[in-house]
Amino acid sequence: MPRNPSAALARRLERSSRLRSALGRALQVRVLDTTYDAIGTQLVPTLAQAPAAVLMLGVASRAKRIRVEARACNRASRFYPDASGRPSASLTLDPAGPPARRAAVAPQALAILRRHGLAVVRSRDAGRYLCNASYFRALAEPCPVLFVHIPPTASAKRPRDASRPRHGGLDAAAQARALTEVALFLCARGRAAARTR
């Protein structure tokens, strides 16, 4: 994708004064290369820093609504090469891993995004490309991890119900406000869990 709206959205969250104030420091943002090698060379070192939480963003090219990914599967596809032209080395992402890993925080994140009036659905299929592969790896960590797919454009809106007030569409500002709340929730959950370990 020539212009990746998820990278722009991540940078917007990085500049959030609200997140900086709540976290006591700037949010760490990593925009991964669109290659399978990036999982080992960029994602794994970031996860080794033991973050309180991980919020992953990506673009679902055919999506009309935001998708909260409830799980990642231990599978890849040889049909979809990465940006370097290489497919996944194996159909199984982790031979010793489970068939799937689930995001325990997905229902709460879904509720937060809906409260912000965004068009959002729960998804059980993060795909068979790098989004699923990186999510599967991140979900192995002990902190809260969530992957959110956004549509390629900001044109999708929740249908207007005349009986309900309008809460905003699916523009970048609305997405950023809602995802700020999700990030705050994930960090609070992660900090609470770290205190009990």
163 pLDDT band (50/70/90 cuts)?
A: very low
Burial pattern 44-65, b for ≥16 Cβ within 10 A else e, equals: eeebeeebbbbbbbbbbeebeb
Backbone angles phi, psi at 68, to 5 degrees: -90, 115
Give the pLDDT confidence of 112-127 residue by residue, as tens digits: 999 999 999 999 999 8
Q: Identify the domain containing residue 62 by its residue range.
A: 5-196
Angle at 91 (CA atoms; ends 88, 96), nearest 5 degrees:
110
pLDDT tens sequence across 60-75: 988 899 999 999 999 9
Q: What is the pLDDT of residues 137-160, one digit of tens each?
A: 999 999 999 999 999 865 444 444
Virtual CA dihedral for 4, 116, 120, 104, nearest 10 degrees? 100
pLDDT tens-digit map of 22-38: 888 878 999 999 999 99
Average pLDDT taken over every residue of the chain: 89
> How many domains does the chain fold into?
1
Q: How confident is the model at residue 11 (pLDDT cuts 50, 70, 90)?
A: very high
Q: What CATH number corresponds to the domain at position 14? A: 3.40.630.20
